[in-house]
Amino acid sequence: MKISFLIHNAYGIGGTITTTFNLAAALAERHDVEIVSVLRHREHPNLTPHPGVRLRALVDLRREKDHPLHGRPARVFPAAEYRHHQYSELTDERIAECLADTDADVVVGTRPGLNVHLALQAPEHVARVGQEHLTLDNHPPALRAALRRAYRRLDALTTVTEADADSYRRKMLLPGVRVEALPNSVPDPELPTADGTAKVVVAAGRLVPVKRFDLIIEAFARVAAEYPDWRLRIYGKGEEQDRLRALIESLGLWNNVFLMGAATPMEAEWVKGSIGAAASNFEPFGMTLVEAMRCGLPVVSTDCPYGPGEIIKDGEDGRLVPVGDGAAFGAALLDLVRDDERRRRMGEAAVANARRFAPGPVVAHAERLLLEAIEARSGGQRGAPGRPGTHHTLVSRGHAARDLARAAASTALRTVRKGRR
């Protein structure tokens, strides 16, 4: 089958880009696969596409940043979508042309705004699969309202956790749309897994407030006080870098905590550690958790919505602690630092349990879903899972009404604030 992935900017860095490249590479072993990047801002992508995956861009910002149409706001891409300010009449036009001309059997959208384009503009013969890499509850009410209207024209919708799939089934009335959880996959490690002897804790991700690297640093201060020969390495870049560096200095941890910058791929860095750490307030999935576990590291993580609780088995291959609880996080780290045998045993369990996120099972699931979407679309049946019951319909309509009311209230508030300026 011919598969086309529609992505925001394949030339950047982030979890959605990584998992899209991973899935596309695995599917390219047996299928004709392309990645269409709406935007492009540099010559080469940060990640190298599989040789069998074609990569092309619709709007090259290096040359078209000042295009007259790019100065006008997008009309198709939802205004309530987080990335709306980066879209324009030019992207509207190019995406529409791309979809109209596609010879793919199935097009896969990778964010809500692109899923709306896909639902509204793909030709009738093309199967339409939307992906959700965040969560339904994380979207503002106005966006949820827009998605309800558009998503009914999708064939399938995938989420990265079962919890979010359940939210879509309960809160969105999408008759005929198959909603399934499809977790992100992590490639099979190429290096020997960590053996648990290195006195190093590793954390990675964007240096932004929601990731709470400050909490990890403060928690690690307890480890350094008792075990000064242990180190914390933080990989990533972002707006919090200067604040985190100041925190390290204020705690006197300049010999124990290091901001390492971004590293791609991370495998060679994970295997140098013995414990992984993640302290997010919110995590739609938790790609770094799986990466660390596949490299043999037990992970200490906050039990935030939604992903960590579906990835880590508390006490078996890692530890889950309450969100924002630095004392509990520090205690969990210390438990693993103090007990060499437990750390080694949990690292082995992490490798075994994380195999469910290997490309094999995830790609097989994706392949089946895409084929069934194509067959349903060509047969004129779509993936209807059966008529929703009365209770389900009433619950969904209740959520829809609340979202519309909240969206209207938010619009009214913005109007009032503008009038006061």
Q: How confident is the model at residue 384 (pLDDT cuts 50, 70, 90)?
A: very low
What's the mean per-residue pLDDT of the chain?
92
Contact present, 349 and 317 (Cβ < 8 Å): yes
Indicate the pTM of the whole model: 0.82
Contact present, 235 and 262 (Cβ < 8 Å): yes
For residue 186, the model assigns a pLDDT of 85
Q: How confident is the model at residue 144 (pLDDT cuts 50, 70, 90)?
A: very high
- pLDDT tens, 48-99? 999 999 999 999 999 999 999 999 999 999 999 999 999 999 999 999 999 9
Q: Between 415 and 93, whose confidence is greater?
A: 93
Q: How confident is the model at residue 386 (pLDDT cuts 50, 70, 90)?
A: very low
- 126 pLDDT higher than 70: yes
User: Cα–Cα distance between 158 and 238 in angstroms, integer?
Assistant: 29
179: CB partners within 8 A, 6+ apart: 156, 157, 158, 159, 165, 168, 169
- 129 pLDDT higher than 80: yes
308-314 — which CB contacts under 8 Å span 24+ positions? Answer: 308/278, 308/280, 308/283, 309/163, 310/161, 310/162, 310/163, 310/183, 311/285, 311/286, 311/354, 311/357, 313/349, 313/353
Average pLDDT over residues 168-182: 94
C-alpha to C-alpha distances, 274 to 223, 343, 344, nearest whole angstrom: 14, 8, 8
- For the stretch 349-381, what's the b/e string if a residue is b when 16 or more beta carbons lie within 10 angstroms of its beta carbon? bbbebbeebbbeebbebbbebbebbbebbeeee
User: Cα–Cα distance between 328 and 333 in angstroms, integer?
Assistant: 9
For residue 88, the model assigns a pLDDT of 98
Contact present, 225 and 252 (Cβ < 8 Å): no
**Highest mean pLDDT: which range of 82-86, 285-289, 360-364:** 82-86
- 387 pLDDT higher than 50: no
Q: Tell me which residue of 268, 336, 272, 326 sits closest to 302, measured CA to CA.
A: 326
Q: How confident is the model at residue 247 (pLDDT cuts 50, 70, 90)?
A: very high
Which residue type occupies 406?
Answer: R
For residue 81, the model assigns a pLDDT of 97
For residue 173, the model assigns a pLDDT of 86
- 115 pLDDT higher than 80: yes
For residue 418, the model assigns a pLDDT of 58
378 phi and psi angles, rounded to 5 deg: -70, -25
Average pLDDT over residues 147-174: 95
Beta bridge partners of 302: 321
User: Cα–Cα distance between 414 and 159 in angstroms, integer?
Assistant: 31
Q: How confident is the model at residue 411 (pLDDT cuts 50, 70, 90)?
A: low
Q: In what order do the strands lie in the sheet with 178-181?
A: 53-60, 32-40, 2-7, 106-109, 127-132, 156-159, 178-181
DSSP H/E element including 9? none
Work out the number of other CB atoms within 10 angstroms of the CB of residue 13: 15
Angle between helices 141-151 and 390-420 (to 10 degrees): 130
DSSP H/E element including 308? helix 308-311
For residue 204, the model assigns a pLDDT of 97
Beta bridge partners of 233: 202, 258
- 241 pLDDT higher than 70: yes
Contact present, 319 and 292 (Cβ < 8 Å): no
Q: How confident is the model at residue 167 (pLDDT cuts 50, 70, 90)?
A: very high
Q: How confident is the model at residue 417 (pLDDT cuts 50, 70, 90)?
A: low
Average pLDDT over residues 387-398: 52
**Using CA of residue 217, residue 222, residue 228, residue 231, what is the dihedral sign?**
negative
- For the stretch 226-257, what's the b/e string if a residue is b when 16 or more beta carbons lie within 10 angstroms of its beta carbon? eeeebbbbbbbeeebeeebeebbeebebeebb
